Homo-oligomer: A and B are copies of this chain.
Amino acid sequence: MAVYTDVAAEDLSPFLAGYDIGELLAYKGIAEGVENSNFLVHTRRGYFILTLYERRVAERDLPFFLALMEHLASRGIICPQPVKNKAGKVLGKLAGRPAALVTFLDGMWIRRPSAAHCAALGEALARLHLAGADFSVRRDNALSVAGWRQLYEGCRERAYKVERNLEKVVAAELEVLERDWPRDLPQGVIHADLFPDNVFFLGDKLSGLIDFYFACTDTLVYDVAICLNAWCFEPDHSYNVTKGRALLANYVKNRPLSHQEWEKLPLLARGAALRFLLTRLVDWLDVPPGALVRPKDPREYARKLRFHQMVKSARDYGLAEP
């Protein structure tokens, strides 16, 4: 939860005057999102989300994210829509930060997802991948296998503070993944961070996807592996095969996996676990004094990694061989 940059009404009003959305009536900082500052904005024309991009998001990537949201919406994916200002631009500057206004999306994220929620997620993820197929802009995934060693080097000496021998576990896993990581599976736009807090539901119906600020061009089934990690484990860190089956079955119903994709799923799931283990480890060890964000526990992903290492095939996740 965070608002890193405060915005004064005295500054917001003139900024919004650049848009055709009517007079500013109210705005509130939102205690969600750990990368950017978000405000809910009420104007005569309705409700919007204003995002100020903080330094962890590279300014050069913002056009990719905003264009992607426009593209996906035009293909029927429900996600926030960037609002153009009177000059036709979606990106502006406010309080010294790049800033964008997007439409407000109804819906709530589910704290304790059920198998039915996982099923809906599987379908939405496949539809997202299909909708992104003709998006022409590329953005490399800085947090895929090529970027992990650098994260590891930055925290290997302090990793023992989190768990004994963790640095050895990570080093061994890195070797395997760097050697065996698949390079020739179907690629496209992936969300790369589709955790429950980025998926909205209204009742039991999935009503929208948000937060595309890790989206990139990468192996599609790697996105599935991320979702298995994010959605299908219980609070005690055990894998729930009913949820996994629901997610995977509804994914392949909309976008069938090739035999090679199916075969590589366990390895990709290990990679996804390692990716979140590493970024959480860095955040955990680098939390500055007086930080307003409580870092997430990296050990959760160490346990998930161990589970994936034991998996023999994607059948163990609940998906039959195609």
Contacts and interface: CB of A to CB of B under 8 A. Distances in A.
A201 interface: yes
A2 B294 CA distance: 12
A38 B311 CA distance: 43
Interface in A292-321: 292-294
- The quantity of this chain's copies bound in the complex is 2
A261 B269 CA distance: 72
A1 interface: yes
Interface in A163-180: none
A61 interface: no
A24 B108 contact: yes
Contacts of A202: 25
Contacts of A293: 292
16 contacts: A1-B1, A1-B29, A2-B31, A6-B111, A8-B110, A9-B108, A9-B110, A9-B201, A10-B111, A25-B107, A26-B104, A27-B108, A28-B31, A28-B40, A40-B40, A47-B47
Interface of A: 1-3, 6, 8-10, 12, 24-32, 40, 42, 47, 104-112, 200-202, 290, 292-294
